[in-house]
Amino acid sequence: MSEIALAPELLVTEPGLVAGKVAVVTGAAQGIGYEIAAALSKHGAKVIIADLDQAKADIAAESLGGGDVVALACNVTDEDAVSRVADSAVSQFGSLDIWVNNAGITRDNRMAKMSLSDFELVVNVHMTGTWLGVKTAGAIMREQGRGSIINMSSLSGKGGNFGQTNYSAAKAGIVGMTKASAKELASRAVRVNAIAPGLIRTPMTAAMSAEAFANLESTIPMKRAGEPHEVAGTALFLASDLSSFMTGAVLEVGGGRLM
């Protein structure tokens, strides 16, 4: 059998999949966001860890070696704060190539007992926070003529979770936002994709009771929960040129649940 020759552009010859690129990851002081920041940094990107908790963000940045990893405080629902983070990426590192909208919260309760304030808070952090990230990063990337924006949805936005009418609604909305913004930005070589994780072992899911966690885990065809680094690998793929002809996609990382 003759050897198949790969085109040079398909060969990964750089020291990292995102070498030389500049990334912002929101909510990156812990959990999935931290693992995404770590993966991007490992593969050569300069990374800004943007998080509501400056102290935790500082610790996260230091653990990744400092230098090309910077921590900034950011409330993703504050337009000025989001703009400051984007401007800092450009002023400190020269560009903005990757933006990951990962920041999120939960305020779970049955709809009959959920307060309007808890509904609005969760929707605001996820939906408004993601919209501001896409709008702000997209404006810079359009002028550059390149960029990858990654939004964090969830399988709860596909199937709905009991006690999460707020979270499920927000995560479903992020899918629509991803597709609409991908259409608006595609002509300027700016890609917008989403990741929909399933049950992942994070500080957020650690708040679940052992029984609830086990019950949900039993519905997964792969019979286990995922790990944050498994979501981070998908984010790295979407951030890199390996996914250069993908936009408006929603990649599920859930062990086959709800397929």
The catalytic site residues sit at 167
Q: Amino acid letter at 117?
A: S
DSSP lists the bridge partners of residue 47 as: 23, 69
CA atoms within 13 A on the CB side of 38: 18
- Residues whose CB is less than 8 angstroms from the CB of residue 209 and which lie 6 or more positions away in sequence, other chains included: none
Residue reference for tokens 């405080």? 73
- Residues whose CB is less than 8 angstroms from the CB of residue 34 and which lie 6 or more positions away in sequence, other chains included: 28, 49, 60, 228
Please give the full DSSP string across 16-63, using - where no structure is assigned.
Answer: STTTT-EEEEET-SSHHHHHHHHHHHHTT-EEEEEES-HHHHHHHHHH
CB 233 within 8 A of CB 15: no
Nearest-CA neighbor of 41 among 72, 62, 27, 10?
A: 62
What is the phi/psi pair of residue 14, to 5°? -75, 160
Q: Amino acid letter at 191?
A: R
